[in-house]
Amino acid sequence: MEDKIFGKDAAPPRAEHKEGQDVIHDEDHGATYGTYVLVWLALIGLTAITVTAAGINLGSMALTVALIIATVKTTLVMNYFMHVKFDSLIFKIFIAVCVFIFLTMIILTFFDLIYRDPLL
């Protein structure tokens, strides 16, 4: 009896779907160690690019380049290390709404700074 429960003969868990079909849920939702290493190497590479770009005189584009690289790094960390890529759609929608509200507040703050009278 123990072999059937804990051994190789044990049946994988089944879930009943709306159509009445039995579907085996035996999937691994997550990244492999190789994927984590590749993401880590990408983060190191992007950090090196950020440091190199800071040493180059890009003028007014320096901030834009740094923010684009930071956005790519943030996306990598969120998707793989925080497992957002493997979460359900409702979590992704919730994160998108939070990012939208955050960006709206930042934009409104900058509009206030642009149209404010100078203090001096």
Q: What local confidence, expressed as pLDDT, does residue 74 receive? A: 93
d(CA 22, CA 74): 39
d(CA 111, CA 101): 15
Q: What local confidence, expressed as pLDDT, does residue 43 receive? A: 95
- Reported as a single tens digit per residue, the pLDDT across 50-59 is 999 989 998 8
d(CA 56, CA 62): 8
- Reported as a single tens digit per residue, the pLDDT across 5-20 is 555 555 555 555 556 5
The low-confidence residues of the chain, meaning pLDDT below 50, are 26
Domain assignments of the chain as residue spans, ordered by start: 2-86, 87-120
SS3 1: coil
Q: What is the pTM of this model?
A: 0.62
